[in-house]
Chains A and B, each alone.
Chain A
Amino acid sequence: MKDSLNPLLVSRRWKPWEAVLWVVALVSPLMLPGHALIINEIAIVALFAVSLDLILGYTGIVSLGHAAFFGMGAYTAALFAKLVMPDPTVGLLVAVVVATVLGAICSMTIIRGSDLTRLMVTLGVGLILMELANKLDWLTGGADGLQGVVMGPVLGRFEFDLYGRTAAWYSITVLLILFVIARRIVNSPFGATLKAIRDNRLRAMAIGIPVTSRLAVIYTVAAGMAGAAGALLAQTTGFASLDLFEFHRSADVMLILVIGGTGWLYGGVAGAVVFKLMQDVISAITPQYWTFWIGLFLVVLVMVGRERLLKPWTWFSRGGKA
């Protein structure tokens, strides 16, 4: 078969607009120097959303406990910087490894059972970790959070500055590297089997896909990526708190992914941009009650149909399928 006819290879090829997008992302801290901090946040949240997309969008596991790995990565990075050495790259690697190990352990819990069971188990893992971080206050600072984390310069050369420009570049670079890896995974034959599992588990089993091990592997990888996102947040803000494990973080990241569209890696990135800007605007208008608007948005989103959000021309026609 010719290469250009193989759908796996076609979707794998980099398109010109993707390169443009990444160049824009890398230049953005220079163009908008006043907004480097929010660019940094967007990059981190985007990475978090992409990691969730691997399990939710591509494999169809509804998880409400993805913040567990995010928080784990953040605490690991912060503790590593505080107790062992302040180099960010090494800290990042350690955080990823720890979160991956945690993910591998937790992946045993999501293999069996229905959606509800999985929801509960993922939620439970997040709550257990939060409880642990709260009670081990000699190590984590308890409810006050882990303060006084001082980071060394990136690669020994680039100091973190006050305006967050180094932080933004650091986060975007990490996002790019992990994005490429994720892109490679979902466009490989392995990724195709994941989609098969999502669409019809029984049939996937029947054609000989080892469902259990595929689920475990992708859950572990996603956990590692979420850990990287958490580590970035802890390193660039120099702070880790219990808030990282909170339920609303898992809910937020799910919302981000849904805004951008599941089963599409750029969905996480697009959702992160929209969500962060929206949060910025709404919380400037009503700082206390912005969760109301988020909630309303979610309800309307589901009522309208989430696949329609990206296709405005279908809004006013009565959908045949819906």
Chain B
Amino acid sequence: MLTILFDGVAYGMLLFILAVGLAVTMGLMNFINLAHGAFAMVGGYITVLLMQRAGIPFLVCLPLAFLGAALLGGLLERTLYRPLYHKPHLDQVLFSIGLTFMAVASADYFIGSTQQIVQLPEWLKGRTEIGEGAWMLGMGHYRLFIIAVCAALTVGLQYVLAKTRFGSRLRASVDDQRVAAGLGINVNVVFLSTFAMGSGLAGLGGALGAEVLGLDPTFPLKFMIYFLIVVAVGGTSSITGPLLAALLLGIADVAGKYYIPKLGAFIVYCLMIAILIWRPQGLFVRQGGKS
């Protein structure tokens, strides 16, 4: 049972890293971006291809995945996303679906539709077991690694958001874009760097998750719904909301699949709808911000 909880936490942390960029960009620009999974896929493919073709070690690939996805994110933000911030939501949905379709088809074309496999280094392959019987805790080393990396990232993000000058600018822009701009904050630069950051984190998450979630060209479509659940349930105003939502989702998904495999993803969707009917703005909403 503890093992399931552990796996659920690892899965949830991974989802959080994948989705946090989406939460911030959605809260910041009120932009419904369904193409977020595409950045995660880019990160995943960068890692897989670098490891397979160039033989670069896994740990070096992770920052590269981050950089690649962040660069791509920044580029797309500047060229394609920016004109759409003030368009209706329907336009944004159409645009990002189109982008996702293109990403899926091009990945299929250039790399092939087969599932990619990540060769983990030796020291991440093992498994440690503690305790006995029903309370046995089996920890895959790789999952432990994921939790450690994601926890470090979360603490880092929280620090940046709460303590640094950039963080306060970002929070000001999220709360009220116009007033922030009026106070001399260059909102466009804040948007650009945040979008690139978010895409980079998604790329890193995709790289880390390639082994756990599987990586094939349909990745952006398959996991789009999960990212959106995290954001919709967690709310977009803080990063603790999405974190808790991601953990909840991860644990519910792993436990649901383990205990009631017949119902599969059913539980997660029902849970989401119930929560959203109960609290349409998400579970964790901060008062006072502009919604």
Q: How far is the CA of A115 from the CA of B84 in the complex (A)?
A: 16
Nearest-CB residue, chain A, relative to B103: A295
Partner of A298, one of B32, B98, B232, B264: B98
A306 contacts B91, C-beta separation under 8 Å: yes
B276 contacts A113, C-beta separation under 8 Å: yes
B53 on interface, CB distance cutoff 8 Å: no
* Partner-binding segment picked from A22-30, A207-215, A250-258: A250-258
Given contacts A131-B264, A299-B80, contact A121 B101 (CB under 8 A): no
Given contacts A116-B26, A117-B280, A124-B269, contact A292 B229 (CB under 8 A): no
Q: How far is the CA of A291 from the CA of B221 in the complex (A)?
A: 13
Q: Which residues of chain A have C-beta atoms less than 8 A from B273's C-beta? A: 109, 121, 124-125, 128
Chain B nearest CB from A247 CB (Å) reads 6
Q: Which residues of chain B have C-beta atoms less than 8 A from A258's C-beta? A: 90, 94
A interface: dominant SS: helix
B272 contacts A120, C-beta separation under 8 Å: yes
A127 contacts B225, C-beta separation under 8 Å: yes
Within B272-291, the residues touching A (CB, 8 Å) are 272-273, 276-277, 280-281, 291
B interface: dominant SS: helix
Q: How far is the CA of A301 from the CA of B87 in the complex (A)?
A: 13
Q: How far is the CA of A113 from the CA of B92 in the complex (A)?
A: 18
Q: How far is the CA of A62 from the CA of B264 in the complex (A)?
A: 27
Total residues of chain A contacting the partner, CB 8 A: 45
Partner of B232, one of A117, A294, A299, A303: A117
Q: Which residues of chain B have C-beta atoms less than 8 A from A119's C-beta? A: 32, 93, 228
Mask: chain B, 203-247; 1 = CB below 8 Å from A; 0 = not: 000000000000000000100010011011000000000000000
Nearest-CB residue, chain B, relative to A301: B94
B106 on interface, CB distance cutoff 8 Å: yes
Q: Which residues of chain B have C-beta atoms less than 8 A from A294's C-beta? A: 98, 101
A277 on interface, CB distance cutoff 8 Å: no
B145 on interface, CB distance cutoff 8 Å: no
Q: Which residues of chain A have C-beta atoms less than 8 A from B266's C-beta? A: 128, 131-132, 135
A113 contacts B269, C-beta separation under 8 Å: no
A289 on interface, CB distance cutoff 8 Å: yes
Q: Which residues of chain A have C-beta atoms less than 8 A from B95's C-beta? A: 298-299, 302-303
B178 on interface, CB distance cutoff 8 Å: no
Q: Which residues of chain B have C-beta atoms less than 8 A from A115's C-beta? A: 32, 89
Partner of B105, one of A251, A255, A292: A292
B270 on interface, CB distance cutoff 8 Å: yes
Q: Which residues of chain B have C-beta atoms less than 8 A from A262's C-beta? A: 90
Q: How far is the CA of A37 from the CA of B204 in the complex (A)?
A: 47
Nearest-CB residue, chain B, relative to A126: B269
Q: Which residues of chain A have C-beta atoms less than 8 A from B277's C-beta? A: 108-109, 112, 121
Within B99-114, the residues touching A (CB, 8 Å) are 99-106, 108-109
A295 contacts B291, C-beta separation under 8 Å: no
B83 contacts A303, C-beta separation under 8 Å: yes
Q: Which residues of chain A have C-beta atoms less than 8 A from B93's C-beta? A: 62, 64, 119, 254
B97 on interface, CB distance cutoff 8 Å: yes
Q: Which residues of chain B have C-beta atoms less than 8 A from A108's C-beta? A: 277
B232 contacts A295, C-beta separation under 8 Å: no
Partner of B281, one of A113, A288, A296: A113
Chain B nearest CB from A256 CB (Å) reads 11
Q: Which residues of chain A have C-beta atoms less than 8 A from B89's C-beta? A: 62, 115
B149 on interface, CB distance cutoff 8 Å: no
Chain B nearest CB from A282 CB (Å) reads 11
B262 on interface, CB distance cutoff 8 Å: yes
Q: Which residues of chain A have C-beta atoms less than 8 A from B231's C-beta? A: 116
A128 contacts B105, C-beta separation under 8 Å: no
Within B50-91, the residues touching A (CB, 8 Å) are 80, 83-84, 87, 89-91
A317 on interface, CB distance cutoff 8 Å: no
Nearest-CB residue, chain B, relative to A288: B108
B183 on interface, CB distance cutoff 8 Å: no
Q: How far is the CA of A120 from the CA of B93 in the complex (A)?
A: 12
A315 on interface, CB distance cutoff 8 Å: no
B80 contacts A255, C-beta separation under 8 Å: no
A116 contacts B264, C-beta separation under 8 Å: no
Nearest-CB residue, chain A, relative to B271: A124
A297 on interface, CB distance cutoff 8 Å: yes
Q: Which residues of chain A have C-beta atoms less than 8 A from B221's C-beta? A: 247-248
Partner of A295, one of B26, B105, B109: B105
Mask: chain A, 164-188; 1 = CB below 8 Å from B; 0 = not: 0000000000000000000000000
Q: How far is the CA of A108 from the CA of B274 in the complex (A)?
A: 11
Q: Which residues of chain B have C-beta atoms less than 8 A from A123's C-beta? A: 225, 228
B189 on interface, CB distance cutoff 8 Å: no
B269 contacts A295, C-beta separation under 8 Å: no
A79 on interface, CB distance cutoff 8 Å: no
Given contacts A114-B281, A116-B26, A288-B108, contact A254 B269 (CB under 8 A): no
The 14 sampled A-B contact pairs (Cβ below 8 Å) are: A62-B89, A113-B276, A116-B228, A119-B32, A131-B265, A132-B266, A135-B264, A254-B97, A289-B105, A291-B101, A292-B109, A302-B87, A302-B98, A303-B95
Q: Which 6 A-B pairs have the closest CB atoms?
A: A298-B98, A113-B280, A295-B101, A292-B105, A295-B102, A302-B95
Q: Residues on A close to B: CB < 8 A?
A: 56, 62, 64, 108-109, 112-117, 119-121, 123-125, 127-128, 131-132, 134-135, 247-248, 251, 254-255, 258, 262, 288-292, 294-299, 301-303, 306
Sample of 16 further A-B pairs with CB below 8 A, known A62-B93, A108-B277, A120-B232: A109-B276, A116-B26, A116-B232, A117-B281, A119-B228, A124-B273, A135-B264, A135-B266, A255-B94, A289-B109, A291-B101, A295-B103, A296-B102, A298-B94, A298-B98, A302-B92
